[in-house]
Structure formats: C-alpha cells, structure tokens
Amino acid sequence: MKKWENLNKEQLLELKELYDKEFEDFKKQGLKLDMSRGKPSPDILDLSAGLLDPLESWKTADGTDGRNYGVPNGVAECRQIFADLLGIPVGQIILGNNSSLELMYNAYMRMYVFGAMGNKPWKDLDTVKFLCPSPGYDRHFAVSQAFGSEMIIVPMTEDGPDMDLVENLVKDDPLIKGIWCVPLYSNPQGVVYSDDTVKRLASLETAAEDFRIFWDNAYGTHHVFDKYTVANILDLAREAGKEDRVYYFFSTSKITFPGGGVSIMASSPASIAEQLKHLSFQTIGPDKLNQLRTAQFLKNPDSIRDHMSKISAILRPKFKVVLDTLENELGDTGLVSYIKPKGGYFVAIDTLEGCAKAVVAMAKDGGVVLTGAGATYPYGIDPKDTNIRIASTYPSLDELTQAMKLLCICIKRVSIDKLLAIHY
C-alpha cells in the first residue's frame, strides 16, 4: 500500500466512500466497549485470587498486632519484599494503602503547603513550574494542575524525556521544581528510560534547591516481550549527592488488585523521615492487615516475577493484536507513527496532525470509548492533536480485535478528510 499523502483526489474520494460504508457496517454490530482506562482484565485479576484467602495471622513478624494501631511506615516484612524486588534499603520505604497516586498527591501537597527540607512552600511562590514528559500520564498532570503549577511539555524520545532540553530548562530557572517520570514502560508509549537518561536525571544540576523527581515505577515488573530493566535512580542520585530529590513510587495495583493492593514510596532517609513526620499528622497508620495479606500472597521477588510472567502471557497476545492490526491496516499508509512499546500497559500512536480528537469521537460513535484525545498532554491539550492512547489490557481478544478494526477505519476515514483539506 502506498503512502496516502500521494493519493490523488479521486482515489481519496473512492476510499472515503469505502470507509464510510465500513464504518456504517461496523456500527450495526452495536459494539459497546470502554477502553478509556488502563485496567486489568478479569482473567488477570483471577491470578491473584489467593489474596482473598483467609489471613494466616494478624501478627507481624516482630509480634506486633496488625489489627491494632501503629506501624506508620508499614509492616516490615511487606516492605522487605519490595526492598528486595526494587533494590532499595528497607528503611527507605513507606507503605501506603491501595493508591500510589494518593502517595504522589500527598507528597506534592506537602511540597506546596509545607515545603521540603526548609525550602519555601510552593504556595508562597508566584508560580511553580513542573516538567511533563509528553505524551504522559493524565493523572500525574492533573496533580500538577490541581496545585496550580505551570506545566512544561518535554518531548519523549525512545530513551526517555529529551534530556538536553531538561538540563537546559532546569539549570537557570529556580521555579522549575520537578518532573514526572514513568521510567520503565512509560505511560502511554512503553518507552524504557536509558541508563544515560536515568544518570542525567539523577545528577541534574538544578537552580531549584527543592527540585523533585516524581519517579512512578508503575510498570516496574510489567514485561510483555523481553524483560527490560531501568537503572536504580536512588543509587545514582545518592552517588551524585542528590538522593533527597527522588520520590520513588510503586504499587501492586497492576500486580494484584487496583481496588485492594498496597502502594510504596521510597526516598532518601532524610526525605522519608520528612514524609513520616507529615504522615503522623495525617493518619493513624496504614491498613496493616492488607499489607500482611499482600506479603502472604506475594511472598518474595521470585514469586512476584513468576506471577508477572503469567500476566505477561495474557497481555502479550493483546499487544500483538494491537501492533499487528496497526501494521496490517495502516503499515505503509503514513497515517500513523508510533514507538513500538517495550512493555507496560499501552500502545500510543500519533495520527496526522489535527486528527486525534476526530478519530476518538468517531470511534465513540462506533461503539468504542478510547482515552480522551489530549489526555496524554498537560491540561488535556495535545498541541498537534495527534496522540491516541490504546489501552488494550481490559477487553477480551475478540473485543480488542473488533475495536482495533474500528479504530483503523476511523483513522483512515478522518485522515481522508484531512488529506483532502490539505491537498485539494
């Protein structure tokens, strides 16, 4: 198939008629599918059925009664599992309840209200700027927006955020206070930050003393094809004498249950002590029984890796459907471009400029709700209106096959209008 930008008007009009018909035929099936969020499918959740088993003991390893008050930083044996899995000293880990977003929001809120390590609270500055590698995760950007930060787009490359730009931006502007990162299998592109990227982030020279890297390792064990790793930023930042700046997050939301997992925050000993001080005013402590339940079920890093390989086996064919359909239907058309994801939860594609919103709207009309166009950019505004996030984890293979067929029809149909408008 040749590049569609080289088609003449008649050819485009012929295709327009074809895809109008294909769309109408598709619509008649009455498909109703919500692919807007990155949710695990029921068969993925079934793999964690053991988490619903009776709790063998409410006693922690050191004899503390997990039913009662106390243990603000979380049950030690549960922290130890994640310490071993992630290569972080156990004393630098705090466990939260089921939402790691809540840990991020609270950490951001503390910077805003109280300031960190004696620095001015962000609320007392005229403005705070935050770097947002994009496309990225909408809920990260929403936190910055909630606290009125000015978000600055940093383009993503196949190695992570454009580090030349990052270094240039932060070195002179003390109001740039941080950056959002999903280092392994980034949301939504599935990019793995290169060692060089992580090293440059860890040792960044910033004008702001209280620059913070919000390091959301949400997909830290979510291999789909090969098993990629990402450098240990806490180690690298410590070596660079900048360990306080790393706020590291992780959760079991996509290992066990989003609605019943545990979340993790790690940082330097000093930063963790600061978080715990604030935490002591905010809560009487986390749900320790769920931490015991999680430890009982997950056991150790090896059994987590075994468990994750079962999840990979479910995700792999779904990724294959998405990637194969894109290749087969749109391969040489020049209508989309994308980085092939190395793992994680999503495939992100770029349409021709100014087409993403129209594609998402048309897909919705056809019965498939995709993530809102623009959602992967700060303020929900994709400057070129090109990015579409495909969340393929929830639907069944059949549904996904159908949805991808529809998506490709919509991309073609919308692109035709675009090409006609440009060229004719």
- Can you give the binding site for a copy of itself, defined by CB under 8 A? 37, 39-40, 42, 45, 48, 52-55, 58, 65-71, 97-99, 101-102, 105-106, 109, 112-113, 123, 139, 142-143, 146-147, 253, 257-260, 278, 281-290
Q: Closest distance between a copy of itself and the C-beta of residue 391, in Å?
A: 11
- The count of other CB atoms within 10 Å of the CB of residue 23 is 19
Nearer to a copy of itself, 93 or 101 (CB): 101
- Tokens at 136, concatenated: 């990225």
Nearer to a copy of itself, 99 or 401 (CB): 99
Q: Report the distance separating Cα 33 and Cα 81, nearest Å.
A: 37
Nearer to a copy of itself, 15 or 125 (CB): 125
Q: Closest distance between a copy of itself and the C-beta of residue 32, in Å?
A: 15
Nearer to a copy of itself, 145 or 232 (CB): 145
Nearer to a copy of itself, 101 or 153 (CB): 101
- Tokens at 204, concatenated: 């960044």
Q: Closest distance between a copy of itself and the C-beta of residue 390, in Å?
A: 17
Q: Closest distance between a copy of itself and the C-beta of residue 172, in Å?
A: 28
Among candidates 302, 293, 303, which has minimal Cα distance to 77?
293
Q: Closest distance between a copy of itself and the C-beta of residue 98, in Å?
A: 4
Nearer to a copy of itself, 258 or 334 (CB): 258
Nearer to a copy of itself, 108 or 193 (CB): 108
Q: Closest distance between a copy of itself and the C-beta of residue 123, in Å?
A: 6
Q: Closest distance between a copy of itself and the C-beta of residue 37, in Å?
A: 6
Q: Closest distance between a copy of itself and the C-beta of residue 199, in Å?
A: 31
Nearer to a copy of itself, 113 or 207 (CB): 113
Among left, alpha and beta (phi > 0; psi -120 to 50; other), residue 132 is: beta
- Indicate the pairing of strand 387-391 with strand 33-35: unpaired
End-to-end CA distance of the chain: 21
